[in-house]
Amino acid sequence: MANDKQDKTHFGYKTVESEKKEELVADVFHSVASKYDIMNDVMSFGVHRLWKRFTIESAAARPGMKILDIAGGTGDLSAKFSQIVGDSGQVILADINDSMLKVGRDKLRNQGFVSNIRYVQANAEALPFPDNQFDIITIAFGLRNVTDKDAALRSMLRVLKPGGKLLILEFSKPTNEMMRKAYDFYSFKVIPKMGSMIANDSGSYEYLSESIRMHPDQDTLKQMMDEAGFDQTDYINMTNGVVALHRGYKF
């Protein structure tokens, strides 16, 4: 029975074979990649830019640093980090989905980001980098789509340098009951309709709303980071807990 349980995972509210989830998530992001940026702005009323700005400020990156942006998608964080670390530093924009990676690469190259950004298709559960490589790792709105989150956290810890910092920006659990009810209505009644109108795809946005509800809450994710070996873990709620920024260090 234990093996059966380990072989199953959730894809939104559905229970699926663990080995199938990666493919199902890939289909979602292949579908939404071309409209990803526009949908982010519309769905969050632009507030996602403030959440990401706070994440960048919390990273406290400096010139010369090496930064890994996991699930970097269309490159919002990578673009800013590229400017901060300069020619003496490096940013790696990693994403498991080649459609998202191509959209991000084309967008950043068109904006003139060429010299210090690399693009790597990578699974967060088994990052293809040597140990102790990065000063900072970020993963923004990507961890909830990972099948084995514990393996991903261990993989991130492995490739961080001693003294390095992990930042996880992710949708979480609202701390206010009124906000929770309003958020549920918006997520399940409004967002899929937006997805249908703008991206011609309501199903993918239904999955995204469900995946948020299945993601570990703030304290559970902090505990998972502790168990993976991170030190001084904490989190900061934003927008009444709709989003949380988790932080942890490698010592």
Annotated binding site: 74, 95, 123-124
Q: Are strands 8-11 and 14-17 parallel, antiparallel or unpaired?
A: antiparallel
Q: 186: which 2 tokens? A: 């918006």
Task: Assess contact for 243 and 171: CB atoms under 8 A.
Answer: yes
Determine how many CB atoms are found less than 10 A away from the CB of residue 112: 9
Q: 86: which 2 tokens? A: 């300069």
Q: Which residues line the annotated binding site for S-adenosyl-L-methionine?
A: 74, 95, 123-124
| Cα separation, 52 vs 50, whole angstroms | 5
Element (H, E) at 201: none
Radius of gyration of the CA atoms of the chain, in A: 17
Residue with tokens 């010369």: 64
Residue 27, C-beta contacts closer than 8 angstroms, at least 6 positions apart: none
In the chain, the N- to C-terminal Cα span, in Å, equals 38
Residue with tokens 């873990």: 233
Residue 20, C-beta contacts closer than 8 angstroms, at least 6 positions apart: 11
